[in-house]
C-alpha cells in the first residue's frame, strides 16, 4: 500500500512538470498518456482503501480538468469537473480522519497564530517528538541505534538557522530522517515476529514522526527566510564565507538557486518546497538573492574595471615615454620588446591604450557609488588624463572641469591638496592655452590657506575661476560636423572654375537644367562654397562677410548691417530650399554659422558677445527644422526605388555633369552619397551635433529653465542615436561626457536608461529549443491529414524550422549532415512558397537557407521573382552578406544601409555594417598582409621554450593539420600568418607535429625547415613568407607542358627547381617538428605512404630529402606525371585519398606513444564546394581531382565528424565554403582567396566564441607551462 501511495505521489509530481511544457505541441500526447497511466495507478488502491482512492481520484480529475481548459478543450474539461464532484466527499472525510497530519500541523498553526517565542516553540516540539519516539521505541526490535539517530537528527532541526550552511543542514537532516523512516518500515514489514496490528501501529507512529519532523523543518526554513528578509545586511548573510571572485559568487548563487528558485520551491512535496501561503516569501527571498549577487558582481566589476584601467594607463604612459625615447621611465613594458617600433607607432599604441583606459575608468565611474564623492572625483580626473593623452583636448577639459565643480559643490571637506591637484590637472589638460586670470592666479597663491580655511569667500573665488575657464573654452566645445561626412568635393577647397555645393542639389526639381542655368542659383552656390572654404581654413570673419554678400539684388544669406538686424534661421532655410540645396548641406551650413557666431573670433557692429550667443542658439535650433527631414526622406525613398529595380550605378571613373539624372529625379552624386548612409541618417548626425551644442550652451551658461530644456534635448538625442547609431558617432562621446558634466551640476542621474538604449548588443536572448524526432513525425502526420492550404503552409514552415534546428546543432560536429538538413529546410520553405508566393516568413527562411548553402547569386536575384522582399530589412541583410561573400563590399554596404533604413533596430544588420566597416576601412586584407611583413622582425625565437614544449612531461601535444588544394593553400598560409603575428612565435614552436597533404605538405615542410641544416630551433621560413610565395611564385608550380610528351598538363621541372631553391639538401630528419606528409605509392596498389620525420630518424632508408618528399606528395594526376624516388617507386599526390590529414596525424601521434588526452589539433581547410549536400561527390572533380578518383568531400566531412567525436573542443577546424569551384591551378583567383581568407579571420574574431583569441590564450598558457 505504501509503495502504491508513493507511485501516485510521483505521478502527480511528474504530471505537474510535464504540464509546464504544455506550450510545446509535441508534449501534449505525452501528457495525455501520463494522465491515462496515472488513473490506472490510482485505481489499483480502490479495493484496499476506498477513502484514499476517492481522495486521489478527486485530485486527479481536478488537475486533468485544469489542464484541458488551458489547451481549450472546454467540453472535456467540464466532463472531468463533473467526475471530480463525485469524489469530493472523500476529500472531506480524509481530512477529518488524518489525525497524524492534524497533530503535526497543530504546531505550525499554533506558531502562526500566537507568534510564540523560540524557546517555548522548541519545548512544544520536543514534547511531541519525545512522545512519538517513546511509542516507536516500545515497538522496535533494534531500538538503540535508531532512536539515537532520530534524536541527533531532531537536534539539528530544533535550532533556527542563521546561515545558509545551517539551512542546508536542515534539508539534509529531514532527507536523512525520511530515508531512515522508509528503511525501518521496509525492514519491519519483513519482520515475521511482529503481528499485523503492531506493524500498523509502528508504521503509523513512524509516519507521524516523519510528518512532525517535516513540519519542524518547514518552520525553521520559514524562520530563516524571514530572518534574511528582515535583516539590515541581507547580502552578508546570503553570501557569507565565500571568496570575492566572480566565479565563486556565481557558483554560490547557483547553489542558492537550487534551494530557493521558485521553480525548485514549487516542486510538489519536496524537502525544499514551499506551501502556497509562503510562496511569496520564497519569491521575495530569491529576488533578494539576485539583487545581492548583482550588487557583489557590480562591486567586483568596479574594482576590476579600475584595476584594468590602471594597467592600460601605465602601458599608455610607457608607450608615450618610449616614443620620446625616455627609456628609463618605463615601468611595465620591456625596452627590448618595443625597440623596433617607430615613434609614430609607439604614439599610436599610447593613444590606443589611453582610450582603453578611459573606457575602463568610465565603466568604473558608472558602477561606483554616487555618494562616494572622492572616488567619483578621482575617476573623473583619471578620465580627463586619458582623454588628454589621446588628443581629445576639449573632452579632457570637460572632465577636469566636472571634477573641479564636484570638488567645490559636493565634496564635504576638501583639503588644500585636493585643490592643488585639481588646479594642476586643469593646467595640464588646457596645455596653458589660456593665460590664468587674475583671480585664478590668486587662488593658486592662496591654495594652502584655502585648504585650511575653506571660507565661503575662498570657494566663491575658486568658483569664479572655474566659470572663467568654462567661458573661455565654450566656443571650442561647439561640435563641428566633419566636412567629409557631407562628402565635400575637393574642388570646394581649391581654386577652380567648377563650383560644387557641399551637399548636392536636391532631387525635388521639376526642370533641373533650367535651375542649373539660373544665374541666381549659381551666385548662391558660389557664395556658399567660398564661405565654407573660409570656414574650413578658420577665417571666421571672412566667412561672415562672404555670407553677407548679395546673391541677388537686395538679398543675402546673412543680413547684419543694421543694429536691429537679427539672424533668422527659417529665412536661411527658405533661401536654400528655394534654390534646391540638399537638406544635409543646409544643416551643415547652419551649424557652421552657429559655431562661428559663438567663437569670439568675429566682430559685428552693434552686436555684443551675448547677442551673438543668442543668435547662435537660434541657428542651432534652426538645424532641427522638420522641412529638412522631409526633404531627406523623399531622397531616401528615391534611392530605395532605385535599389528595388536593380539599376546599375554609374562608374566614378568618368566625369558626369551633376545635373545628369539617372532615375526619376536622382542625380549621380546623390547615388554615390547614398552608398555610405541614408540621407536621413546623414542629416540626423548634424541635427544631433546641433542639439548637443544647444545643451552645451544651456549647461555651461545656465539660464531660466535650462535644466529642464537640457533634459528634453538629451532625451531627443538619445532616441535619435538609438535609431541611427550605426551611422553616427561624432556626437555620442561628447553626449556621454556632457551627461556626466550635467550630473555634477544638477546632482541627479536624470538619464538612467540612456546606456541601456545605447547598447548595441543583440537583445535576442530566446532560449534554445530542444526538438526531438517525435515532433517531426507528428508534423508529417498532420501534413498527410490536413487539406487546409493555410495549415499546410504552417506545417511546411515548422518542418523547415525543425531541419534548421538540426542543421545548427550539427554545424560544428557534422558539417555535411548540417548542409543536408539545410537543404531539407530549403525544400520545405519552397513547398510553402509554392502555396503562398507572398509569404514573407517562408521567403526569408528560404533565403537564409540558401545563404548558408553558399548560393549567393540566387539571393541577389531573388527579389526579381519576389519583389515584396525589398520591403524586408532582413532580406537586405541577407543580400548584403551575399555580396560580402562575393567580396563586392560596396554593394554589400549599400544593401546593409537599406536594411537599416527599413529597420534601424535590426541588431544583426548593425553587426553586419560593423563587420563591413572593418573589411573596407579599418583592417583591409592589404593592410593585414603588410602588417605581417612589417612586424616579422619582432618574432621571438626562444630555445628554452622550444625544447621544453617537446618534453615528454609537457601536458599538451599540439598538431597542425593542413588540407590539400593547390593554389587554395593560400588560405591556411594566411591564417597561420595571423597566428604567428598574434603570438610573435613561429608555427614550429607552437606545434609538436605538422601534417600536410599536397599544397598543405609544402606549407608543413616550409614551416618545419630549419634555418640551417643543423639548427635546433630557428625555422627558415615564416608563415607570412610562404604567403608571399603563394602570391608571387606559384606560377612555377604550374608550368604548362608544351611538348606534351605525357598526358600531364604541367611539367615537373620548374616545380622541382622551386623546391630545390627553398629546401636544398634538407632532409626529413632535420625538420624542427614531427612532420607527416602523405603520398600515394602507385607501385603498391595505390596505398598511402607517409613521409615522416619519426621514421626518417629511425630508418636511414626513409630519410628522404624534402625536395623528393614534396615532389612525390604534389604530383597531381592529370596535372603532372608521377614522381619516382629510387628504390621506392612512383608516387602521386596524397590528396587522392587523404585530403584532410587530421585523422592521419592523430593516428601517428598515438603511434608515437602520445596519450590521446594530451592531443590538440588545429585543422585548416582550403575551401569546400558542395552545391548538392545530398550528393557531395558529384562536383568533387571541379575542386580536387578527376571524378573517377576518390570521395574527397565526403572524406573531409567524415574525418571532421570523427575528430570532433573523439577530441571535442580539442579539435578546431577552420574552413570556408565557395559558391563556385576554384580549381587547383586557378591562379587568377588568388586575390579572391586572399580576401575570403581575410574575411574568415574577421568572422572568427567577430563570433561569440572568438576561436582565435581562445587559441592565442591557449598558446600563451602553454608558454607559461614551458617556461
* Residues 301 and 448 grouped into a single domain: yes
pLDDT, residue 477, reads 61
**What backbone torsions phi and psi does residue 932 show, to the nearest 5 degrees?**
-60, -45
At residue 699, the pLDDT reads 66
pLDDT for position 18: 63
Together in a domain, 487 and 464: no
**Could you tell me if residue 55 is inside a domain?**
yes
Task: Determine what percent of the chain is predicted with pLDDT higher than 70.
Answer: 76
Q: Does residue 388 sit in the same domain as residue 522?
A: no
Among 469, 295, 266, CA closest to 384: 469
% of the chain beyond a pLDDT of 90: 24
Same domain for 537 and 653, yes or no, is: yes
- CA neighbours within 13 Å on the CB side: how many for 937? 8
| C-alpha closest to that of 353 among 393, 381, 315, 399 | 315
Task: With beta carbons less than 8 A apart as the criterion, state whether 701 and 670 touch.
Answer: no
Mean per-residue pLDDT for 281-300?
A: 84
DSSP reduced 3-state for 652: coil
Range of 412-416, 1016-1020, 1025-1029 with top mean pLDDT = 1025-1029
1080: confidence class by pLDDT, cuts 50, 70, 90: very high
Confidence of residue 691 (pLDDT cuts 50, 70, 90): confident
Residue 31 counted as domain residue: yes
H-helix or E-strand containing 1214? strand 1211-1214
583 by DSSP, 3-state: which?
A: helix
Is the per-residue pLDDT at 1212 higher than 60?
A: yes
What's the rounded mean pLDDT across residues 665-694? 78
Query: Does 1152 lie in the same domain as 1123?
Result: yes
Asked if pLDDT for residue 860 goes beyond 90, the answer is yes
Whole-number pLDDT of residue 103: 41
Instruction: Average the pLDDT over each of 68-82, 177-191, 491-505, 782-796 and give the range with the smallest value.
Output: 491-505
Tell me, yes or no, whether 764 lies in a domain.
no
Please answer whether residues 238 and 288 qualify as being in contact, where contact means their C-beta atoms are separated by less than 8 angstroms.
yes
Do residues 1133 and 1166 both lie within one domain? yes
pLDDT of residue 569: 93
> pLDDT (tens digit, 9 = 90+) per residue, 11-21?
776 776 566 44
* Residues 466 and 496 grouped into a single domain: no
- pLDDT tens digit sequence for 335-372: 877 876 788 888 888 998 998 898 888 888 877 766 67
| Size of the chain in residues | 1267
Residues 961 and 1044 in one domain: yes
Mean pLDDT of the chain, nearest integer:
78
Residue of 246 and 471 predicted with greater confidence:
246
In a domain, residue 984? The reply is yes
Pick from 405, 433, 429, 438: nearest CA to 419? 405
Is the same domain home to 456 and 513?
no
Asked whether residue 505 falls in the same domain as residue 437, the answer is no
Compute CA distances 945 → 333, 517, 986, 1199, 1260, whole Å: 21, 76, 12, 32, 11
Q: Which of 58, 79, 97 is the C-terminal boundary of a domain? A: 97
Residue 1218 pLDDT > 90? yes
Higher pLDDT, 711 or 513: 711
* pLDDT tens-digit series, residues 99-121: 344 444 444 443 443 344 555 55
Q: How far out from the chain centre does Cα 619 lie? A: 41
One domain for residues 512 and 641: yes
* Counted domains in the chain: 5
Query: Which of 1-10, 369-378, 1104-1113 is the most confident on average?
Result: 1104-1113
Is 1133 in the active site? yes
Q: Tell which residue, 120, 153, 125, 150, has the closest CA to residue 137.
A: 150
Q: Give the whole-angstrom CA distance, residue 580 versus residue 557.
A: 15
pLDDT the model gives residue 86: 82
Instruction: Give domain status of residue 162, yes or no.
Output: no
For position 108, what pLDDT does the model report?
46
Burial of residue 520 (number of CB atoms within 10 Å: 0-12, 13-18, 19+): middle
For residue 897, the domain's CATH number is 1.25.40.10
Cell numbers at 1255, concatenated:
587559441
CB 533 within 8 A of CB 492: yes
Query: 973 near 1027, Cβ under 8 Å?
Result: yes
Range with the poorest average pLDDT among 264-268, 1009-1013, 1138-1142: 264-268
CA–CA separation, 670 and 683 (whole Å): 14
764 backbone dihedrals φ, ψ, rounded to 5°:
-75, 105
Report if residue 1144 sits inside a domain: yes
Give the model's pLDDT for residue 96.
40
pLDDT of amino acid 663: 45
Q: Does residue 10 belong to any structural domain of this protein?
A: yes
pLDDT per residue as tens digits for the range 942-993: 887 788 878 888 889 999 999 999 999 999 999 999 999 888 899 999 999 9
- Point out the least confidently predicted range of 466-480, 655-669, 1102-1116, 1189-1203: 655-669
Comparing 451 with 222, which gets the higher pLDDT? 222
Q: Are residues 409 and 491 in the same domain?
A: no
Domain final position from 664, 694, 724: 694
Higher local confidence (pLDDT), 745 or 445: 745
**Residue 152 forms part of a structural domain:** no
**142-169: average pLDDT:** 79
Which residue in the list 584, 1104, 1133, 1195 is annotated as catalytic?
A: 1133
C-alpha cell read off for 13: 509530481
Across 437-460, average pLDDT? 43
pLDDT at 1025 over 60: yes
What pLDDT sits at residue 648? 44
CATH for 1111: 3.40.1090.10
> Residue 1131, SS3?
strand
Confidence of residue 765 (pLDDT cuts 50, 70, 90): very low
Please give the C-alpha separations between residue 778 and each of 26, 515, 772, 781, in angstroms, as whole numbers. 7, 68, 10, 5
* Segment 666-679, tens digit of pLDDT: 566 677 777 777 88
Of the residues 641, 672, 694, which one is the last residue of a structural domain? Answer: 694
Domain span at residue 413 reads 297-473
pLDDT digits (tens, 9 = 90+) for 712-739: 777 777 777 766 655 655 555 666 666 6
> b vs e for 1157-1180, b when ≥16 Cβ sit within 10 Å of the residue's Cβ?
eebbbbbbbbbbbbbebeebbebb
107, 379, 396, 520 from 307: Cα distances, Å: 55, 12, 21, 63
Q: For residue 413, what pLDDT band results from cuts at 50, 70 and 90?
A: low
**Whether 998 is catalytic:** yes
Catalytically annotated residue among 205, 818, 961, 998? 998
**918-923 long-range CB contacts below 8 Å, 24 or more apart?**
918/1242, 919/884, 919/889, 919/1238, 919/1239, 919/1242, 920/889, 920/893, 923/1242
The predicted pLDDT at position 344 comes to: 83
User: Around 126, how many Cα atoms within 13 Å sit in the side-chain half-sphere?
Assistant: 12
Element (H, E) at 1075: strand 1074-1081
Burial of 1111 (0-12, 13-18, 19+ CB in 10 A): buried
- pLDDT greater than 50 at residue 779: yes
Q: What residues contact residue 457 under an 8 Å CB cut-off, 6+ apart? A: none
Q: What is the pLDDT of residue 161?
A: 85
> For residue 441, what are the contacts with CB-CB under 8 A and spacing of at least 6?
none
More confident residue, 137 or 174: 174
The span from the CA of 844 to the CA of 850, in Å, is: 10
pTM over 0.85? The answer is: no
Query: Residue 1110 above 60 pLDDT?
Result: yes
Rounded Cα distance between 265 and 261, Å, is 6
Of 274-278, 793-797, 928-932, 1024-1028, the range with the lowest mean pLDDT is 274-278
Burial (0-12, 13-18, 19+ Cβ within 10 Å), 830:
middle
Higher pLDDT, 172 or 143: 172
Q: Which of 169-183, 568-582, 731-745 has the lowest mean pLDDT?
A: 731-745
Q: Of residues 249 and 1206, which shows the higher confidence score?
A: 1206
Instruction: Provide the pLDDT for residue 1131.
Output: 92
pLDDT at 506: 40
Amino acid at each position: 500500500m505504501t509503495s502504491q501511495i508513493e507511485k501516485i505521489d510521483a505521478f502527480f509530481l511528474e504530471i505537474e512538470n510535464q504540464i509546464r511544457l504544455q506550450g510545446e505541441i509535441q508534449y501534449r500526447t505525452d501528457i495525455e498518456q501520463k494522465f491515462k497511466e496515472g488513473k490506472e495507478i490510482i485505481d489499483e488502491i480502490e479495493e484496499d482503501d476506498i477513502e484514499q482512492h476517492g481522495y486521489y481520484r478527486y485530485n486527479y480529475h481536478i488537475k486533468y480538468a485544469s489542464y484541458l481548459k488551458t489547451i481549450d478543450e472546454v467540453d472535456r474539461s467540464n466532463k472531468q469537473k463533473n467526475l471530480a464532484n463525485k469524489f469530493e466527499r472523500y476529500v472531506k472525510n480524509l481530512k477529518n480522519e488524518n489525525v497524524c497530519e492534524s497533530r503535526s500541523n497543530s504546531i505550525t498553526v499554533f506558531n502562526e497564530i500566537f507568534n510564540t517565542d523560540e524557546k517555548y516553540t522548541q519545548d512544544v516540539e520536543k514534547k511531541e517528538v519525545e512522545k512519538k519516539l517513546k511509542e516507536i521505541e516500545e515497538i522496535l526490535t533494534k531500538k538503540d541505534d535508531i532512536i539515537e539517530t532520530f534524536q541527533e537528527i531532531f537536534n539539528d532541526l530544533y535550532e533556527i538557522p542563521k546561515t545558509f550552511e545551517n539551512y542546508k543542514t536542515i534539508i539534509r537532516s529531514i532527507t536523512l530522517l525520511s530515508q531512515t523512516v522508509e528503511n525501518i518500515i521496509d525492514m519491519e514489514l519483513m519482520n515475521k515476529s511482529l503481528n499485523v496490528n503492531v506493524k500498523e501501529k509502528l508504521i503509523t507512529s513512524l509516519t507521524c514522526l516523519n510528518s512532525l519532523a517535516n513540519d519542524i523543518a518547514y518552520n525553521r526554513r520559514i524562520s530563516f527566510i524571514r530572518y534574511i528578509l528582515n535583516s539590515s545586511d541581507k547580502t552578508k548573510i546570503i553570501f557569507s564565507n565565500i571568496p570575492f571572485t566572480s566565479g565563486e559568487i556565481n557558483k554560490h548563487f547557483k547553489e542558492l538557486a537550487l534551494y530557493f528558485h521558485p521553480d525548485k520551491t514549487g516542486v510538489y512535496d519536496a524537502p525544499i518546497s514551499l506551501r502556497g501561503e509562503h510562496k511569496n516569501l520564497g519569491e521575495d527571498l530569491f529576488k533578494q538573492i539576485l539583487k545581492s549577487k548583482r550588487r557583489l558582481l557590480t562591486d567586483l566589476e568596479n574594482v576590476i574595471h579600475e584595476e584594468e584601467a590602471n594597467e592600460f594607463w601605465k602601458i599608455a604612459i610607457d608607450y608615450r615615454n618610449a616614443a620620446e625615447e625616455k627609456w628609463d621611465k618605463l615601468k611595465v613594458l620591456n625596452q627590448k620588446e618595443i625597440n623596433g617600433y617607430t615613434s609614430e607607432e609607439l604614439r599610436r599604441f599610447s593613444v590606443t591604450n589611453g582610450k582603453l583606459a578611459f573606457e575602463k575608468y568610465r565603466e568604473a565611474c558608472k558602477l561606483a557609488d554616487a555618494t562616494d564623492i572622492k572616488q567619483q572625483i578621482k575617476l573623473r580626473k583619471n578620465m580627463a588624463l586619458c582623454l588628454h593623452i589621446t588628443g581629445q583636448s576639449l573632452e579632457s577639459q570637460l572632465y577636469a572641469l566636472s571634477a573641479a565643480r564636484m570638488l567645490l559643490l559636493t565634496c564635504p571637506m576638501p583639503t588644500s591638496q585636493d585643490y592643488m591637484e585639481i588646479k594642476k590637472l586643469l593646467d595640464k589638460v588646457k596645455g596653458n592655452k589660456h593665460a590664468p586670470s587674475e583671480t585664478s592666479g590668486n587662488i593658486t597663491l592662496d591654495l594652502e590657506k584655502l585648504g585650511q580655511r575653506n571660507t565661503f569667500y575662498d570657494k566663491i573665488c575658486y568658483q569664479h575661476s572655474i566659470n572663467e575657464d568654462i567661458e573661455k573654452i565654450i566656443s571650442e566645445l561647439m561640435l563641428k560636423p566633419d566636412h567629409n561626412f557631407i562628402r565635400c568635393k575637393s574642388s570646394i577647397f581649391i581654386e577652380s572654375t567648377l563650383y560644387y555645393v557641399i551637399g548636392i542639389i536636391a532631387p525635388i526639381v521639376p526642370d533641373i537644367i533650367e535651375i542649373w542655368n539660373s544665374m541666381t542659383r549659381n551666385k548662391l552656390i558660389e557664395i556658399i562654397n567660398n564661405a565654407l572654404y573660409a570656414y574650413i581654413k578658420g577665417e571666421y570673419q571672412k566667412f561672415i562677410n562672404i555670407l553677407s554678400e548679395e546673391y541677388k539684388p537686395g538679398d543675402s544669406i546673412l543680413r547684419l548691417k543694421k543694429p536691429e538686424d537679427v539672424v533668422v534661421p527659417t529665412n536661411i532655410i527658405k533661401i536654400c530650399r528655394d534654390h534646391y540645396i540638399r537638406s544635409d548641406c543646409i544643416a551643415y551650413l547652419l551649424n557652421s554659422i552657429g559655431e562661428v557666431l559663438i567663437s569670439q573670433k568675429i566682430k559685428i557692429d552693434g552686436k555684443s558677445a551675448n547677442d551673438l550667443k543668442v543668435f547662435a542658439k537660434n541657428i542651432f535650433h534652426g538645424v532641427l527644422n522638420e522641412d529638412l527631414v522631409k526633404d531627406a526622406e523623399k531622397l531616401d525613398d528615391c534611392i530605395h526605388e532605385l535599389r528595388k529595380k536593380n539599376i546599375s550605378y554609374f562608374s566614378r571613373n568618368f566625369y558626369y555633369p551633376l545635373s545628369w539624372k539617372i532615375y526619376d529625379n536622382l542625380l549621380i552624386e546623390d547615388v554615390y552619397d547614398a552608398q555610405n548612409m541614408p540621407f536621413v541618417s546623414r542629416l540626423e548626425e548634424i541635427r544631433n551635433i546641433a542639439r548637443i551644442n544647444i545643451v552645451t550652451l544651456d549647461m555651461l551658461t545656465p539660464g531660466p529653465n535650462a535644466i529642464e530644456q537640457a533634459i528634453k534635448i538629451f532625451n531627443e538625442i538619445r532616441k535619435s542615436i538609438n535609431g541611427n547609431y550605426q551611422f553616427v558617432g561624432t556626437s555620442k562621446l561628447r553626449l556621454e561626457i556632457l551627461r556626466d558634466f550635467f550630473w555634477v551640476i544638477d546632482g541627479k542621474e536624470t538619464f538612467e536608461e540612456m546606456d541601456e538604449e545605447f547598447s548595441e548588443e543583440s537583445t535576442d536572448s530566446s532560449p534554445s529549443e530542444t526538438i526531438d524526432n517525435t515532433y517531426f513525425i507528428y508534423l508529417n502526420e498532420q501534413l498527410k491529414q490536413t487539406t487546409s492550404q493555410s495549415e499546410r503552409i504552417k506545417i511546411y514552415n515548422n518542418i523547415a524550422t525543425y531541419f534548421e534546428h538540426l542543421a545548427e546543432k550539427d554545424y560544428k560536429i557534422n558539417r555535411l549532415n548540417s548542409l543536408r538538413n539545410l537543404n531539407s529546410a530549403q525544400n520545405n520553405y519552397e513547398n510553402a512558397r509554392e502555396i503562398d508566393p507572398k509569404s514573407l516568413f517562408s521567403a526569408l527562411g528560404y533565403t537564409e537557407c540558401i545563404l548558408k548553402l553558399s548560393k549567393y547569386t540566387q539571393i541577389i536575384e531573388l527579389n526579381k521573382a519576389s519583389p515584396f522582399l525589398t520591403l524586408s530589412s532582413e532580406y537586405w541583410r541577407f543580400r548584403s552578406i551575399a555580396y560580402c561573400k562575393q567580396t563586392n563590399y560596396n554593394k554589400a554596404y549599400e544593401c546593409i544601409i537599406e536594411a537599416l533604413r527599413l529597420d534601424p533596430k535590426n541588431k544583426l544588420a548593425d553587426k553586419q555594417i560593423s563587420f563591413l566597416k572593418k573589411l573596407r576601412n579599418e583592417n583591409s586584407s592589404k593592410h593585414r598582409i603588410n602588417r605581417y611583413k612589417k612586424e616579422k622582425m619582432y618574432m621571438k625565437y626562444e630555445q628554452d621554450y622550444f625544447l621544453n614544449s617537446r618534453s615528454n612531461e609537457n601536458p599538451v601535444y599540439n598538431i597542425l593539420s593542413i588540407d590539400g588544394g593547390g593554389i587554395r593553400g593560400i588560405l591556411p598560409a594566411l591564417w597561420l600568418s595571423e597566428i604567428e603575428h598574434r603570438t610573435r612565435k613561429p608555427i614550429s614552436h607552437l606545434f609538436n607535429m605538422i601534417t600536410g597533404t599536397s599544397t598543405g605538405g609544402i606549407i608543413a615542410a616550409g614551416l618545419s625547415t630549419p634555418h640551417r641544416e643543423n639548427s635546433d630551433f630557428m625555422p627558415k621560413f615564416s608563415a607570412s613568407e610562404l604567403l608571399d610565395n603563394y602570391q608571387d611564385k606559384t606560377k612555377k608550380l604550374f608550368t604548362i607542358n608544351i611538348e606534351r610528351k605525357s598526358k600531364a598538363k604541367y611539367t615537373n621541372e620548374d616545380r622541382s627547381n622551386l623546391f630545390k631553391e627553398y629546401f636544398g639538401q634538407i632532409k626529413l630528419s632535420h625538420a624542427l617538428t614531427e612532420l607527416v606528409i602523405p603520398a600515394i605509392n602507385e607501385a603498391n596498389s595505390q596505398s598511402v605512404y607517409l613521409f615522416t620525420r619519426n621514421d626518417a630518424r629511425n630508418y636511414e632508408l626513409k630519410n628522404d630529402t624534402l625536395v623528393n618528399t614534396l615532389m612525390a606528395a604534389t604530383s597531381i594526376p592529370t596535372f603532372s606525371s608521377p614522381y619516382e624516388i629510387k628504390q621506392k617507386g612512383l608516387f602521386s599526390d596524397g590528396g587522392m585519398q587523404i585530403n584532410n590529414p587530421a585523422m592521419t596525424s592523430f593516428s601517428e601521434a598515438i603511434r608515437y606513444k602520445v596519450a590521446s588526452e594530451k592531443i590538440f589539433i588545429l585543422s585548416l581547410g582550403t575551401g569546400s564546394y558542395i552545391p548538392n549536400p545530398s550528393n557531395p561527390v558529384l562536383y568533387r572533380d571541379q575542386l580536387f581531382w578527376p571524378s573517377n578518383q576518390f570521395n574527397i568531400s565526403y572524406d573531409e566531412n567524415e574525418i571532421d565528424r570523427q575528430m570532433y567525436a573523439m577530441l571535442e573542443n580539442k579539435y578546431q577546424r577552420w574552413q570556408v565554403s565557395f559558391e563556385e569551384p576554384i580549381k587547383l591551378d586557378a591562379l587568377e583567383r588568388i586575390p579572391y582567396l586572399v580576401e575570403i581568407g581575410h574575411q574568415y579571420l574577421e568572422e572568427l574574431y567577430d563570433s561569440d566564441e572568438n576561436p582565435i583569441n581562445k587559441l592565442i590564450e591557449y598558446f600563451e598558457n602553454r608558454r607559461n607551462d614551458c617556461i
